[in-house]
Amino acid sequence: MDRKQFLTRSLQAAAGALVAGPALLNATSCASAQAPVITDAKGAPSPVGPLTFAQPPLPYPYAALEPSIDALTMEIHYSKHHAAYVKNVNEAIAAEGIAAADEAAFFAGISKLSAKARNNGGGAWNHNFFWAVMGPGGTGAPEGKVLDALNGAFGSFDKFKEVFADAAMKRFGSGWAWLVEQNGKLVIGSTPNQDNPLMDLSDLKGKPLLALDVWEHAYYLKYQNKRNEYVANWWQVVNWSEVAKRMA
């Protein structure tokens, strides 16, 4: 190889390095800009999902909860509102590359995620829970261990209803009223918007046992602004058997 060929090849190699340098830098930057990683309660990273939220079939016909909740409200609530939450949270998980082993891990790290993931993830999970703790043919009151637990925690079932209804009525705007198990005790509280007691940023934390949706879309067609009537009539469709399973 003569001097001219050597210089030519050296210049070509240098030019290649200048082009490859930024490309390698960009690749390294992309690799370091990792997706949010959700950790469990002990701080250990959860395995990569991808997690997918689902909308199971409604466990009863739209009209099954009448007259407490009318069929049209149920249809719109389930097929429009709930379906949108499920669609949107799954979009957020895919777009943001969210890694979570399950829904519990997702909520345990919700403070690290976007508003879209938080709001729609809560909406998807909360409604799945809500449909399950309701059902036709309700007695209006629990029996057995549920009744004993409520009597022990609140003095009487009537007092429990009073405290729960108060939480539902005092939740300003949109949100949920909850009965949760918290460190072995039954606690009543509420959360705003689509937050729930499984979220790491929630003021109310615990294992959900019962929930009431107090967003206006849950009752406005039938009750208009009379949330108190909606809450009072809702007791007739509570599925206390499901509450008992969750209390076990």
Q: What is the pLDDT of residues 2-46, one digit of tens each?
A: 444 433 444 344 334 333 333 323 333 333 234 445 544 455 554
Superfamily classification of domain 34-56+70-132: Fe,Mn superoxide dismutase (SOD) domain (1.10.287.990)
| Secondary element (H or E) of residue 187 | strand 185-192
pTM here is 0.81
How open is the CA angle 102-105-106, to the nearest 5 degrees?
A: 85
Orientation angle between helical segments 240-247 and 144-154, nearest 10 degrees: 70
Question: Among candidates 49, 191, 42, 199, which has minimal Cα distance to 111?
Answer: 199
Predicted confidence (pLDDT) per residue in 159-189, tens digit:
999 999 999 999 999 999 999 999 999 999 9
The tokens for 54 are: 């689902």
* Average pLDDT of every residue of the chain: 86
What's the one-letter identity of residue 56?
P
d(CA 111, CA 115): 9
Q: What is 144-247's CATH number, 3.40.50.720, 3.40.50.360, 2.30.30.40, 3.55.40.20?
A: 3.55.40.20
The full set of domain ranges for the chain reads 34-56+70-132, 144-247
d(CA 68, CA 230): 7
In whole angstroms, what separates CA 174 from the centre of its chain?
A: 15
